[in-house]
Amino acid sequence: MQKHLYLLSILVLGCGTKEYEELAQDTIHYLQEIEDAEKKLGSPIKYPETKDTAGNVISKDVFLRLPTGLYSDLSKSKPEQGSGYRAIKFPRNKGGTEIPRLVILAFAEESEGADFKDGFLQAMDAKDSKENKPKFKFKDGLDVLQYETKGHERNIIFLVPSEKMGVVFQFDNTPGQEAKQDDVVQASMRFFRLGAGASEALSKYQINISSK
């Protein structure tokens, strides 16, 4: 990683074009994100094909790497049914103390025709929560909404209304831990991709792993 950054820095200094300098800086920033991800995140999630009550497939192709210490492969699990959605829940490893304690991947029940956003927020006790602006840009220009609830637990909720799906990071509501919790959420969600973007991200991840 350090070698790559050094070479890119030399290229930036040796080229006077603004466009190239911006491209090189973007590349350096991306490599730094990758290095940070390798320290904090596990393997991409795996989950079962998810269907609604009518038998329609409602799951999407999702690329998401969860913080280390959480189960990432739930491909043989059975999605749980919620009010207007189906959910796959990724807990932390048995006996672990890592954060978050749980990550929820949810897909709307298409056949029920319910409003996924309102229904899911209500299910997460976030109906009256104020929408927060994400602190970073999502890949592929995804329009992602963010909400938060606090009680005995702290939930950071991301919704993609256009795709009728959401991701929830659930933490113990421990005083003084918010900055650390926000850090692991951002590290994970920076690489969140859907559809064709998810397939591309997975291919890049597999190439990177095989080259090590």
pLDDT tens sequence across 156-212: 999 998 899 999 999 999 889 999 999 999 999 998 999 999 999 999 888 878 876
Say whether pLDDT at 2 is over 60: no
The pair of structure tokens assigned to 50 is 């998810």
Residue 53: the pLDDT is: 86
**What are 76-121's pLDDT values in tens digits?**
999 999 888 999 999 998 877 778 999 999 999 876 556 788 889 9
Say whether pLDDT at 126 is over 70: yes
The pair of structure tokens assigned to 9 is 């820095």
**Band of residue 3 on the pLDDT scale cut at 50, 70, 90:** very low
Query: When comparing pLDDT for 189 and 38, which is higher?
Result: 189
Q: Is the separation of the CB atoms in 48 and 88 below 8 Å? A: yes
Residue 16: the pLDDT is: 55
Peptide bond into 100 cis (omega under 30): yes
The three-point CA angle 209-104-47 to 5° equals: 50
Say whether pLDDT at 144 is over 50: yes
Residue 196: the pLDDT is: 95
Say whether pLDDT at 6 is over 60: no
Average pLDDT, the chain: 85
Q: Is the separation of the CB atoms in 105 and 62 below 8 Å? A: yes
Say whether pLDDT at 40 is over 80: yes
Average confidence (pLDDT) over 13-28: 65
Q: Is the separation of the CB atoms in 78 and 212 below 8 Å? A: no
Residue 7: the pLDDT is: 46
Residue 139: the pLDDT is: 87
Query: What is the spatial distance between Cα 187 and Cα 153, in angstroms, rounded to a whole number?
Result: 20
Residue 9: the pLDDT is: 53
